[in-house]
């Protein structure tokens, strides 16, 4: 049987400052399990048994700093998101959206081979526990509009603007 929740005594959390506000990082020995956005509509309730560790996730801190400075286009961290097989399929497809680009929910549904499951894809996108690293902010409405984002539309707009300012080609020239 696969465990869907981590053992309480192995979960650590910390908060890191970013230009869009503080991010809550939660993880266990297998990797990051949650990134909480500052304006989250559904903030994670911290279990009192989880241990706060201000020194945790040093590599994640460095990578987030580089991302927010416009010096990094992707992340290389151990991840351990909890979700259904369908949700994990959607989250995996999100990771294939190139830095600086956007796609629609319909395109995302098509990419996972479920073109009629646009609403379910939208729900799975909204349930993404690893925002920014699993780039759900790169999914927009079919008409090009910015649609809901768990961290608020201002954060989504900021992230997309950051990524449009520096594309991977810029890094090759640097």
Q: Do 90 and 166 share a domain, yes or no?
A: yes
* pLDDT per position as a tens digit, 130-174: 999 999 999 999 888 888 888 889 999 999 999 998 765 554 444
Q: What is the pTM (predicted TM-score) of this model?
A: 0.87
Range of the domain at 139: 85-171
- CB contact set of 112 (below 8 Å; sequence gap of 6+): 89, 90, 93, 121
Q: Coil, strand or helix: which one is 27?
A: strand
* pLDDT per position as a tens digit, 27-37: 999 999 999 99
So which residues are the catalytic ones?
136
- Please give the DSSP secondary-structure letter assigned to residue 163: H
Q: Do 91 and 57 share a domain, yes or no?
A: no
CA distances in angstroms from 1 to 4, 5, 7, 30, 81, listed in the order given: 9, 12, 15, 17, 17
Report the domain count for the chain: 2
């Amino acid at each position: 049987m696969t465990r869907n929740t981590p053992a309480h005594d192995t979960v650590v959390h910390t908060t890191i400052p970013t230009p869009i506000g503080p991010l809550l990082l939660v993880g266990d020995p297998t990797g990051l399990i949650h990134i909480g956005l500052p304006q989250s509509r559904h903030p994670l309730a911290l279990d009192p048994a989880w241990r706060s560790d201000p020194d945790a996730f040093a590599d994640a801190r460095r990578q987030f700093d580089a991302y927010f400075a416009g010096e990094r286009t992707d992340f290389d961290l151990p991840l351990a998101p909890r979700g259904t097989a369908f949700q994990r399929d959607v989250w995996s497809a999100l990771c294939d959206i190139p830095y600086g680009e956007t796609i629609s929910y319909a395109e995302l549904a098509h990419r996972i081979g479920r073109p009629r499951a646009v609403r379910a894809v939208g729900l799975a996108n909204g349930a993404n526990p690893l925002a920014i690293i699993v780039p759900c902010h790169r999914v927009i409405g079919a008409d090009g509009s910015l649609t809901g984002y768990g961290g608020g539309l201002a954060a989504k707009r900021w992230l997309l603007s950051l990524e449009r300012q520096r594309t991977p080609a810029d890094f090759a020239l640097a």
